[in-house]
Structure 1
Amino acid sequence: MDKRIIPLIMCGGAGTRLRPASREVRPKQFLPLFGTRSTFQDTLLRVSDPSLFDRPVVITNAAYRFMVLEQLAEIGIEADVILEPMRRDSGPAIAAGAVFAQNRASEAIVLALAADHVVQDNAAFVAACREGLTAASAGRIVTFGVKPERPATEYGYINPGEAISGEVHAVARFVEKPDAVKASDYVNSGYLWNSGNFMFPAAVLLDEYRRVSVDAVTGAVNNAGRDLGFVTLEPEAFGAAKAISIDYAVMEKTSRAAVVPVSCGWSDVGS
């Protein structure tokens, strides 16, 4: 497999669940919470192997643009930085990243990652990316299902279905955050935590996004400006995009969802 993956790092959130450490002016993804680097920097370094990953794309709030540049420079990584004129949730952000990646390479495979997650075993995560790339290249939208360490009630779950290739399975269903009894049942039944990270062909994601309306996001990217090297989404078009999560917009409706199980010391830095 010689196709390289374009990482799309989403780091525009305000991190309000982690107050008072995380504040609107400097949210949690830019804080060195678990060492000398921020989780944003760790996320970028995790997908920096040039044999597998292409130049990353970062999508963030305009207020954080210089923080992003500063932290990129600290770890010696260059990226295309897209600025959202306003927050519209993960759906429009990922769709805009997909349009941008497809404009760069018509058959682009995109890996959408939250910038505030912790992964302790980078090698295991990269191995899961390699595993998922085959399915993504065949037109699947691949999510990463974390093997549960406990019956957590703070995460959604994925029920793996039939095997597709290797360790990759079709998604039988997604389930919302459960109560303690259901969480225990899910773990015992082989369900996986939903990490909220995805790999997909840009064209497939955008085709699925049409049920929401992809035109506003496409217009925001194709009419974007350039300011000091940043890509500035066209405000009127992006503002017309429905504010919706990628889960509701695509993942819970598509028949093309797949899941690759991974055990990599993952956690979502929440409250």
Structure 2
Amino acid sequence: MADLIVPLIMCGGAGTRLWPASREGRPKQFLSLLGKYSTFQETVRRVSDRAIFDRPIVITNGQYRFLVADQLAEIGAEADILLEPVRRDSGPAIAAGAAFAVRRNSDAVVVALAADHVVTDRAAFVQACRLAAGAAADGRIVTFGVRGDRPATEYGYIHPGAALADGVFAVDKFVEKPDVATAQDYISQGFLWNSGNFVFRASIFLDEYRASDAATVEAASASIERAGIDLGFVTLDPQSFSAANATSVDYAVMEKTRRAAVVPVSYGWSDVGSWHAVWELSPHDEEGNSAQGSAVFVASRNSFAS
């Protein structure tokens, strides 16, 4: 498609996983767990090709505004930074970001990305975005479905249906997090992990959301219309945004819409949801040990120190 894809980076998580390194005051998306940059910074860098991606929109909690601004400055990036006055889960956050994108461009196609995920194959990620953007331009709301290499129980699953275009499939169904035996069955049947990242035309996303929860879409849209600007930050109107129902985007939109589609991906994705995931993504010594900083391992195997 001709128009640039608008990155919407969801960066308001409170850091409830990876304690004690990740805490509410500095949650995991701002930590340099796997190299020089934080996962937030790596997410921004992943969408930095201005031949493909437009200026990012970052939506975060007000208490993280300076963390976001400082980390953007460290990598020489710019973005529109939206501040949530209260947390309302992913549905209202994405709705507010979509409403902001529509104000910039009524035909905007958005890629909504979690700031705390890892992708190791950037080229494959960009190609997946381009495939998804083509389907989104045709009216689909697309999610990235990860080809799983194990029977994971920490993710929901997607069963892909009929092919819609090259590399794009209708969604037959979404299923909740399974037990191990069910997950093994899902993997053998070609089910995909639900990554929680999406591509859509912003106006269509809002229309589909409105069909199931008009009040929340109106609240999110009003919070943009009545937003204030201070020090370059866009603060969503507190009274308006507080009226939104706290709902996940999966429940509010993806499980209800008939426009759902999936692009199967193998781009080295992880939501880095545990210290075991950090260990898996880190380099190891001959005994399987890994460390951030200096560490001495004695009679240890497959351990992680930080």
* TM norm structure 2: 0.88
Aligned residue number for residue 229 of structure 2: 226
Aligned residue number for residue 178 of structure 1: 178
Aligned partners of 2:271 and 2:51: how far apart in 1?
A: 27
Report the residue type matching 2:59 in the other structure: I
Q: CA deviation at 1:180?
A: 0.4
Matches within 5 A, 1:114-263: 114-210=114-210, 211-213=212-214, 214-263=217-266
Matches within 5 A, 1:51-66: 51-66=51-66
Aligned partners of 2:150 and 2:127: how far apart in 1?
A: 23
* Aligned residue pair count: 271
- Which protein, 1 or 2, shows the higher relative CO under an 8 Å CA cutoff with sep ≥ 6? 1
SS at match of 1:40: helix
Q: CA deviation at 1:131?
A: 1.1
Aligned residue number for residue 111 of structure 2: 111
Unaligned runs of 5+ in 1: none
Aligned residue number for residue 270 of structure 1: 273
Matches within 5 A, 1:5-24: 5-24=5-24
Report the residue type matching 1:80 in the other structure: D
Report the residue type matching 1:212 in the other structure: D
Report the residue type matching 2:177 in the other structure: K
Q: CA deviation at 1:269?
A: 1.4
Q: CA deviation at 1:69?
A: 0.4
Report the residue type matching 2:271 in the other structure: D
SS at match of 2:205: helix
SS at match of 2:88: coil
Which of the pair has more CA radius of gyration? 2
Runs of 4+ in 1 over 6 A off after TM superposition: none
Aligned residue number for residue 89 of structure 1: 89
Report the residue type matching 2:97 in the other structure: G
Aligned partners of 2:44 and 2:12: how far apart in 1?
A: 15
Aligned partners of 2:171 and 2:162: how far apart in 1?
A: 8
Conserved? CA contact 2:60–2:81, under 8 Å: yes
Aligned partners of 2:45 and 2:126: how far apart in 1?
A: 11
Q: CA deviation at 1:2?
A: 1.4
Aligned residue number for residue 297 of structure 2: none
Q: CA deviation at 1:254?
A: 0.4
Aligned partners of 2:258 and 2:18: how far apart in 1?
A: 35
Aligned partners of 1:124 and 1:150: how far apart in 2?
A: 21
SS at match of 1:200: strand
Unaligned runs of 5+ in 2: 275-306
The percentage of counterpart residues that share the same residue type is 68
Report the residue type matching 1:97 in the other structure: G
* TM norm structure 1: 0.99
Q: CA deviation at 1:18?
A: 1.5
Residue by residue over 1:171-214, the C-alpha shift from the partner in whole angstroms, topping out at 9 and shown as x without a partner, is 00001110001100000001111000000000111001112121
Report the residue type matching 1:172 in the other structure: D
Report the residue type matching 1:61 in the other structure: N
SS at match of 2:136: helix
